[in-house]
Amino acid sequence: MEQPTTTSDRLILRPFTLADAPDVHRLVGDWDIASATLYIPHPYEYWMAEEWIGARQGQFESGKQGNFAITLRSNGTLVGGISMDINRTDEHGELGYYIGKPYWNNGYATEATQAVIKYSFEVLGLRRVFAAHFARNPASGRVMQKAGMSYEGCLRQHVKKWDAFEDMMYYGIVREDSPSRNGFSASLGLRVFPFREIGCNVELSTSKPKSNDLR
């Protein structure tokens, strides 16, 4: 079974192919992308892109993961990637995404996240979707909020990235609260409240971030 394609207003989310390796290598090889994501190494070699793409279909067929190339409907340009780690036992999925630096601040991460959340509920039949970002990257939290996800908490020193322990901020949404079920746009129905979470040493606010396209 091949992974399907899904679309949004400006984007086509499709399976990666080996022809995407040059673009993946170019976008993911940027230090700013690697530093703000959990699993991407730096430097990122070309063979890593080919190897990663080659394993994607098997991950989908196993039911463990879906990965989409984020491309523009207007011209097919690959601007990033978004993934869903699937837990069938507990009927939930974890989102991860990146947008290449040349394409930041266009809202592509939010639009792709909204599309994959809808796909997760309506096609995969999941009950819950969640995502996390480094506390030092609050811009990614803005993406999650705009996509309709709610802040759920901070896990202090939860993961290690490049020899430094990182606090992780978690967001989630359940099927009953999804915008498609409630009949409103996530971008219009968003409620964002400034507050400080004790122990996380980070403040969430409505101020515009430097970039909103990294997890």
Copy the structure tokens of residue 34: 């690697």
Q: Which CATH code fits 6-204?
A: 3.40.630.30
> How many Å apart are CA 83 and CA 93, to the nearest integer?
9
Model-level pTM? 0.81
Q: Tokens 């340009």 map to which residue?
A: 77
pLDDT, tens digit (0-9, with 9 covering 90-100), for 86-115: 999 999 999 999 999 999 999 999 999 999
Task: Please name the residues in contact with 34: beta carbons below 8 A apart, sequence gap of 6 or more.
Answer: 28, 40, 41, 42, 44
DSSP label of 176:
G
Q: Tokens 């997890």 map to which residue?
A: 215
CA quadruple 48, 215, 92, 12: dihedral sign:
negative
Instruction: Please give the backbone phi and psi of residue 28, each rounded to the nearest 5 degrees, phi first.
Output: -75, -25
CB atoms within 10 A of CB 33: 20
CA quadruple 209, 94, 70, 46: dihedral sign:
positive
Q: Per-domain residue ranges for the chain? A: 6-204
pLDDT, tens digit (0-9, with 9 covering 90-100), for 110-158: 999 999 999 999 998 999 999 999 999 999 999 999 999 999 999 998 8
